[in-house]
Amino acid sequence: MPARAGLLSLGDRVRYEGREHSVVALHGTAVRLVDDAQAASVVLLGHLLASEGFAVLGTGPSRPPLPEEGVLEGLPEEEAERVRWWQRHLTELMTGRPDAEPGTPVRAEYDPDVRSVRQRELAKVAELREAGEEVALSTLQRLRARFERERVAGLVDRRLVKPSTGTGRADPRVVAAIEKVVNSRTDEATVSAQVLQRQVERLLSDEHGVGTVAMPSRAAFYRLFQAVSTGRHLLGSARTRRSLGKQPKRMSGQPTAARPGEVMEIDSTPLDVLVVHDDGTVDRCELTGLVQVYLRGLHDNVCVRHRRWLSCGRANVFEQIDLSHAPEVVRAQRFLDRLGRRHGTFALGAAYRHCERFWRETDRRALVRGDRDSVLARIYRPDSKTLPNRFDLIRSQRFHRAANHPQVARFTRLIISLAQRPETERKVAHLTGTTQIEFEQAFRLDHRPRGITLPWLRNGLVGLVEVVADLTWDDEPLSHASVTRLEGRMINVLTLGHPLDQAPSTPTCVRW
């Protein structure tokens, strides 16, 4: 016999003072009991458990929870009857009583105090087989689990449940007529809701006859109209409605392209130009544009799927770098993608470009090279038949950019977090040197900056944070003049403290 857990729950049937009672409430150490004559009594839990003749006769709720409102409405009669049939059998399997009534005797083969769940399931399968119903044990177990978790709703065939459309119990003929009128108004002028209501009424009369379909009330029609035409701008601007109607249906979420040409967007627009075909017919021509979705920002340098450094978006496989031995570079790209979704691709791309320029100058001054050299040793794998050319490695910007990518990603996150602070807090951090302290805490320097490098690092970090602050805090897109001004400020940041330093006049990569 399975051991019963020492718990007393609501709905348990107990024997107290020679009579059967149901536990209807538990409050602290007090237990409220109701006998079969509906006489209520309150006793202390310790007194109840220590009383003579006390025994737990049944566990679990006396009746399963009521099904959800309208869970069987709209289903075919055969399906509703099948659900009720399974409900009776599963209730008997769980409680021992087919209808879960307190007065109904518990069947011995389904007594939860005597039989385990496995024994009751095998008994129910045998009973159904004798009645002519071939039910597998796995099917019964799956239905029992769904019945315990979702009650009656778990027994309904999901293929027969109609998806929620937001129109409630409205007449489907009225909903179909509203949808037809809404779809026909895309290229038409904007009219009032009363005009649309009369159009729907005339359409119902033409399709089903006058008076066959009852029109809903004015308030009900407005609710249905709002549910059907949400996002269509039917009562708003006609130009916006036409523009939305011409847009193609896009996939859910943002597409991710790993190679040039993997995801393409194509669109056509008619031109007011007549052309003569080869067969002599005259027709209007269309202008078709094809755009590839690929590398949406300057920070997109790694193909995460194939673990390849794309070398500024180049499709040549021989110019790419295998990153299978440098997983931190791939993780840095995933991290930058998350930053792009949070702050926007344009702002992150510009911030990454500025941070990469600053980091390249930091690397040239030999402040942080330990982590870069570790990655560089793993990604630079020349042909085994030839000797490695270390001078070619030094001159290769591709390998250096790939090796610096993890640190540049972390550095970009640090600068963005500093730039998003309030202006007063940023100025205090600049004056007290907190900005440089946070940089040195985040990155392990190979040596302490001395001489002209110390003021360059301090002033450069301050200028970089302020440049990125102008990128991330502006609500409006930056104009060409603003971008040019920020580029000039960034060059001043790089050259500050050393008059001989010259920032590169050409960008590090060409996007196409």
492, HSE (Cβ side, Cα atoms, 13 Å): 11
Measured CA to CA, the distance from residue 14 to residue 220 in angstroms comes to: 53
User: Among candidates 479, 463, 462, which has minimal Cα distance to 346?
Assistant: 479
Where are the strands (E) in 353-467, listed by range? none
- Taking only the tens place, the pLDDT of each residue in 162-215 is 665 667 778 888 888 988 888 888 888 888 888 888 999 999 988 888 888 888
Question: Is residue 502 predicted with pLDDT exceeding 80?
Answer: no
CA atoms 89, 95, 96, 99: torsion sign:
negative
pLDDT in tens, 293-346: 655 555 667 877 778 877 554 555 666 788 888 888 888 888 888 888 787 777
Q: Can you give the residue ranges of every domain in the chain?
A: 13-58, 77-160, 172-246, 302-495
* Per-residue model confidence as pLDDT tens digits over 263-290: 777 878 888 888 888 888 888 888 888 8
Query: C-alpha angle 191/196/198, rounded to 5°?
Result: 125
Q: State residue 38 phi and psi, 5-degree precision.
A: 65, 25
CA distance 75 to 69: 13
| Three-state secondary structure of 440-501 | HHHCCCCCCCCCCHHHHHHHHHHHHHHHHHHHHCCCCCCCHHHHHHHHHHHHHHHHCCCCCC
| Sign of the C-alpha dihedral computed for residues 89, 91, 97 and 100 taken in this order | negative
Q: How far apart are CA 33 and CA 131, in angstroms?
A: 39
Give Cα separations from 58 to 12, 173, 195, 276 (angstroms): 6, 52, 65, 89
pLDDT mean across residues, the chain: 76
Residues 6+ apart with CB under 8 A from 268: 286, 287, 288, 289
Q: What single-letter amino acid sits at 45?
A: L
- 288's enclosing H/E stretch is strand 282-292
pLDDT in tens, 205-254: 888 888 888 888 888 888 888 888 887 788 888 888 887 777 766 655 55
For residue 35, what is the enclosing H or E element? Answer: strand 30-35
| Site of tokens 């995801």 | 263
pTM: 0.41
Q: Find all residues with CB under 8 Å of 346, minimum gap 6, and list them.
A: 297, 477, 478
Give the 3-state secondary structure of residue 331.
helix
**Could you give the 3-state DSSP secondary structure of residue 55?**
strand
Tell me, what DSSP letter sits at residue 66? P
Contacts of 191 (CB under 8 A, 6+ apart): 185
Rounded Cα–Cα distance for residues 319 and 302 (Å): 13
pLDDT tens readout for residues 72-82: 766 788 888 88
User: Is residue 497 scored above 50 in pLDDT?
Assistant: no
